[in-house]
Amino acid sequence: MTVYELVFNIPSDPHANDEVKGHSSRAFLTDLHLIDMPATVILGAQWGDEGKGKLVDRLAEQASWVARFQGGNNAGHTVVIGDRVLKFHLLPSGITRQECSLILGDGMVIDPWVLHSELENWIETGGDDPKGNRLFVSERAHIILPYHRAMDSLDKTIGTTGRGIGPAYSDKINRIGLRFGDLAEIAYDASWAQSATERMNRSLEAAGSDVRIEVESLQEEVQWIHGIYESSIANTGLMLDNALKLNEHVILEGAQGCLLDIDQGTFPFVTSSVTSRGNATHGAGIHPGHVTDVIGITKAYITRVGNGAMPTELEDAAGEHLGTVGHEFGTTTGRKRRCGWFDAVVMRHAHRINGFTSLALTKLDVLGGLDELKICVAYELDGAEITEMPSSASALARCKPIYMTVPGFESKTLEEWLVVARHANENGLGITSLPQPAQDYVRQLESLLGIPCSSVGVGPDRDATIDCN
């Protein structure tokens, strides 16, 4: 009998098999040392674009699974390996690790054409074809269709990516969406295509769009999706649960950031899903007791793409420095990111929602060359000092940052920073390898937030990250 069979085929009658006679299922698992291994959650702690992809890529070296649990191709992860720059929108960052299996989870909305293009690009650059081998798509994940992109293109207020994310989630909430697990049932059902097309065209007309969906095209598209992904569609929540019971390490990879959470973010300038810790296990199809480590990713400053208030936004030389040195352009849209000083009010809110066990601080190197650095510790709202974010978008727009100022530190080239990081890790030096003002800046952030830093990023390369002791 294999270990897998021992774990998952334990008889309900303890007398039915001498191998487990006299043992409860729980005691039997304990004897085998197969108690669930904790999963690690990686979350953006600001407005997204914090560097989650780089961290997941590093941690995936020690993981068996990486699972996305929400969002769609409105996310963008960049991984730099030497001269190779990899950009992913749907594929989990762990794809660079051949021994790592990948999950597109229950809570996602997935554009099948974008995923297909991303897979083809991966294969063309020397990667494997992971479909049905180490890439699995949840049967519960919803499908983004051309209709959803057409509806999203009408947005003139929120500043969405136009990828169809919001309309797909809207169909999900309205219980009319299409899931990957439904494809086998409806792919060749002409009546489904007819009724779906009529509903979509009524919505498009009411919204003022000139786009119309054709019945034949919709049916062909659904059949294509089914044919391409049939081998990959699976009960991925069960797969992850089984993996954890087999003591395999699972990373749950978030998209966007806490401040874009539909409930806890800067509404209405948010995404259409729950981006926070509470949805990590739910969106992956496993229970929350699996998680003990929650790493919040935060830049050493702050950025935002799209509309909505950002109290520490800079429109001066310092802001230009952050945008230029940090190459602040969105991975998904290419839009220029708005830059500002580190905002501890935002981070306190993110920590309250997520309960970070540690922080991964990224892009500390970008601050190099600035004479002084500012950290927002509170806001002034209508003449009063507040230390927590208001829920109202208009009130947040009236908030003025209250800063503390600390000394800056010298700039280095990316190669010099990479040398610093490698030397630190090879000798177990942690952040003591950094210039003293940079060390002080990191310690100040830890003190203000009450959260330790587990790593500090000093460049885009995979190895340009200092592990903290």
**Per-residue pLDDT reduced to its tens digit, 280-297:** 999 999 999 999 899 999
Asked if the structure places residue 450 within a domain, the reply is yes
Average pLDDT of the segment spanning 107-131: 93
Of 13, 33, 77, 128, the active-site residue reads 77
Output the CA torsion sign for 325, 331, 337, 341: negative
Asked if the structure places residue 288 within a domain, the reply is no
Asked if the structure places residue 149 within a domain, the reply is yes
**Residues 294/355, Cβ–Cβ less than 8 Å:** yes
The last residue of one of the domains, among 169, 198, 229, is 229
* Rounded Cα gap, residues 232 and 217, in angstroms: 23
| Mean of all residue pLDDT scores within the chain | 90
Residue 49 annotated among the catalytic residues of the structure: yes
* Rounded Cα gap, residues 232 and 129, in angstroms: 11
Residue 437: per-residue pLDDT: 98
In a shared domain, residues 218 and 312: no
Output the CA torsion sign for 397, 341, 353, 39: positive
pLDDT of 216 above 60: yes
Asked if the structure places residue 13 within a domain, the reply is yes
Asked if the structure places residue 164 within a domain, the reply is yes
Amino acid at 184: A
Residue 28: per-residue pLDDT: 36
Q: For the chain, how many structural domains are there in total?
A: 3
pLDDT of 158 above 80: no
In a shared domain, residues 455 and 306: yes
pLDDT of 33 above 60: no
pLDDT of 442 above 80: yes
pLDDT of 30 above 50: no
In a shared domain, residues 446 and 335: yes
Domain that residue 3 falls in: 1-33
* Rounded Cα gap, residues 378 and 74, in angstroms: 31
Average pLDDT of the segment spanning 452-462: 94
Output the CA torsion sign for 305, 308, 314, 315: positive
In a shared domain, residues 316 and 463: yes
In a shared domain, residues 323 and 215: no
pLDDT greater at residue 469 or residue 227: 227
DSSP annotation of 434 reads S
In a shared domain, residues 218 and 339: no
Convert the pLDDT of each residue in 301-314 to its tens digit: 999 988 999 999 99
| Rg over CA atoms, the chain | 24
In a shared domain, residues 312 and 401: yes
For residue 92, say if its preceding peptide bond is cis, omega within 30 degrees of 0: no
Residue 37: per-residue pLDDT: 65
pLDDT greater at residue 78 or residue 446: 446
Look up the CATH number of the domain holding residue 422. 3.90.170.10
pLDDT band at 17 (very low <50, low <70, confident <90, very high): very low
Which secondary structure element, helix H or strand E, spans residue 245, and what is its range?
A: helix 236-245
Asked if the structure places residue 122 within a domain, the reply is no
What is the distance in angstroms between the CA of the first residue and the CA of the last residue of the chain?
43
The reported pTM is 0.87
Long-range contacts of 123-129 (CB under 8 A, 24+ apart): 125/84, 125/86, 127/95, 128/98
**Residues 275/43, Cβ–Cβ less than 8 Å:** yes
In a shared domain, residues 219 and 315: no
Asked if the structure places residue 47 within a domain, the reply is no
In a shared domain, residues 191 and 322: no
Of 49, 106, 171, 461, the active-site residue reads 49
Half-sphere exposure at residue 256, Cβ-oriented, CA atoms within 13 angstroms: 32
Asked if the structure places residue 77 within a domain, the reply is no
Look up the CATH number of the domain holding residue 211. 1.10.300.10
Average pLDDT of the segment spanning 123-146: 94
The last residue of one of the domains, among 229, 247, 282, is 229
In a shared domain, residues 444 and 330: yes
The last residue of one of the domains, among 229, 244, 279, is 229
Residue 77 annotated among the catalytic residues of the structure: yes
In a shared domain, residues 173 and 305: no
In a shared domain, residues 223 and 311: no
